[in-house]
Amino acid sequence: MKISNILLLTILNLSLALCASASSIREDVDDEKYLDLGNNEGDYVFDPAKQTTPDFAGVGYIKNIITGQSGSGILIAPQWVLTAASVIQNTVVEGETEEDEDTVEEPRAENIRIFFGKGGVNGDFIKLAAVDAVYVHPAWTAALLAAEDDQELLTQGVDIALLKLSEPIDDIRNYPIDTRADSTELGALFISGYGYFGNGKDGVIENDKFKRSVQNTVDRILNIQVTVPGYENLVGGQLAADFDPSFDLTINEGLRDNTLNGVPDAPEGDELDMRYLGDGNSNEIPTNLEGTPLMGDTGGPWIVRFPNSRGFLVAGVTSFSNSDKGLYGDISVATRVANFADWIVPKLLEDTIPNSFSAGNGWLYREGFGFYNPDTLPWIYQAQRGYLYVVPGQNIDDPNGIWMWSRDLRAWLWTRGDVLPFAWRGDLAFTVIEWES
């Protein structure tokens, strides 16, 4: 068996130059601020009315209890965690003879656990979740087999996976994903995860596995034409950000900064070549809690509040960095979620409203049920009836059907696949729901 050196950003990563995780921070800012942000304490308590900072309770620590490999992920629906494929699937099994084809080891859901809570991995966890099913984007699996090296694999922009939990989690906030594949907006972001700790001047210091969150700025949005055989029509996506020091030249003179302003420089040593990110602009002024992911943060969210958006959205999941050092000037890359909305969204409701198909930009359609958008699960937005709260754990085609609370009607509605487009109202009046077949 060959363990691919494409094992990216996991704690047991065999290719450390690719890793990204618990965070390298500014050395001139107290680490307690980053810990407070990651755990919504101190000045960073989540206020749902103001939403000045995200609620990071849904950032989980993912671990394979057999191999020990670990990473991070984000709860995007009561029963679904979004992460990077590299956290879950990263082993290529060589054929026994030259005639035998190499294969990719399939991840086993029963071996994966997800921990949600405050502090470190060894602290008090709010939830320990088992995994019922693993969905790795098939382009990633194909790329693992086809790529000649890490550079070719990681620059495809397909490092993404979904984990379906055994039971829904209803008492931890989940975040909607960004579904706007045509968006070119850059903005401030928050990156979160568990893993190694360091600072931009000294690099990696220790593997303390504490949950931290950092701030940064999205410097690049890339749409990438995938070159993996069988997926040449797929457009992958990535976001990128650099790690800038403060302007105090007495402590930071000579350190790299603003590395994404223009075309990135040629790689040094064993760094990955980031020149594929192309030309662009980057703000040289660091954020107050500037930072970059390290080993262990892979799969953790890039949460963005775009201008004029209704709230925070998960725009990416950490994929890799050009270096494992965590120094100023390092460039981190996330898989862009919007490019995979039409793959993600149907899965979120596959057990509740099956036989739906993607209508683009995060919308789904089922005959009789009409067009609907599930990006705020367990609430969905139905094109004619508005917001409906769908009780988790139901299936519209089961004999018991599904119950939904209508915000506009202020009433419970019941329906079933064989009675669509009608529904039974909570007051027992049979009514037509204005869904178009």
- What's the pLDDT tens digit per position in 177-192? 888 777 777 667 999 9
> What are the phi and psi torsion angles at 403 (to 5°)?
-105, 140
Global pTM value: 0.86
Report which DSSP code applies to 297: -
Mean of pLDDT values over 297-311: 83
Average pLDDT over residues 212-217: 94
Please state, in angstroms and as integers, the Cα–Cα distance from residue 169 to each residue in 39, 166, 243, following that order: 18, 10, 34
pLDDT score for 343: 92
Write the burial class of residue 43 (CB in 10 Å: 0-12 exposed, 13-18 middle, 19+ buried).
exposed
Domains, the chain, in order of start with CATH, read: 16-340 (2.40.10.120), 366-437 (no CATH)
1 band by pLDDT with thresholds 50, 70 and 90: very low
Q: Among 296, 298, 341, which residue's Cα sits nearest to residue 83?
A: 298
Task: Give the amino acid at 58.
Answer: G
Q: What is the pLDDT of residues 254-263, one digit of tens each?
A: 677 888 999 9
| Amino acid 284: pLDDT | 84
Q: Which of 41-45, 87-91, 126-130, 433-437 has the highest mean pLDDT?
A: 41-45
Is pLDDT at 173 greater than 60 in this prediction? yes
Distance CA 391, CA 34 (A): 36
Is a pLDDT exceeding 60 seen at residue 250? no
Residue corresponding to tokens 């797929």: 234
The count of other CB atoms within 10 Å of the CB of residue 50 is 7
- Look at 73-82, 240-249, 372-381 and tell me which has the smallest mean pLDDT: 240-249
Better pLDDT: 175 or 248: 175
pLDDT at 335: 98
pLDDT, mean over the chain: 84
* pLDDT at residue 48 in the model: 84
432 pLDDT above the threshold of 50: no
| Phi–psi pair at 9, nearest 5 degrees | -25, 40
What pLDDT digit, counting tens, does each position of 377-422 carry? Answer: 788 999 888 999 987 778 899 998 999 998 988 888 899 999 888 8
The DSSP code sequence of 157-179 is S---EEEEESS---SS---PBP-
Residue 7's pLDDT band (cuts 50, 70, 90): very low
In one-letter notation, the amino acid at residue 18 is L
